């Protein structure tokens, strides 16, 4: 039985994620979003933050057809699942439309 609140959209887009570890040090890693929804995303990566970790996410979306504009979608979330096959994590959270930024390539 499907328990998700939002439909997921498949994509492969670079993601930068940051968090503060248990010793108070800021950590930053990268990966690729495998899918995304209004309520979160799944990130494929080599090293995942621990379960329940609060983090900041930045998804780099490809330009739309016939446009040189790159989009950066930023949001806050929490790690809700850590996976080993494939390696990565699921994060729940929301992306703030006010943090959607465009840049020219």
Give tens-digit pLDDT for 13-68. 999 999 999 999 999 999 999 999 888 999 999 999 999 999 999 999 877 777 77
CB–CB of 61/13 below 8 Å? yes
**Interatomic CA distance for residues 24 and 79, integer angstroms:** 17
* Helix/strand/coil for 99: helix
Structure tokens, 71: 């989009």
| pLDDT confidence bin for 105, thresholds 50/70/90 | very low
**Interatomic CA distance for residues 49 and 4, integer angstroms:** 22
**Interatomic CA distance for residues 73 and 17, integer angstroms:** 12
Q: Return the minimum-mean-pLDDT range out of 57-61, 81-85, 96-100.
A: 96-100
CB–CB of 14/30 below 8 Å? yes
> Does residue 72 or residue 23 have the better pLDDT?
23
């Amino acid at each position: 039985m499907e328990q998700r609140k939002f439909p997921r959209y498949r994509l492969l887009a670079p993601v930068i994620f940051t968090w503060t570890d248990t010793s108070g040090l800021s950590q930053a890693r990268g990966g690729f979003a495998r899918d995304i929804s209004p309520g979160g995303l799944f990130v494929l990566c080599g090293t995942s933050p621990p379960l329940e970790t609060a983090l900041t996410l930045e998804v780099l979306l490809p330009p739309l057809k016939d446009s040189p504009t790159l989009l950066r979608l930023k949001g806050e979330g929490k790690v809700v699942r850590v996976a080993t096959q494939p390696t990565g994590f699921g994060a729940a959270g929301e992306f703030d439309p006010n943090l959607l930024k465009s840049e020219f390539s």
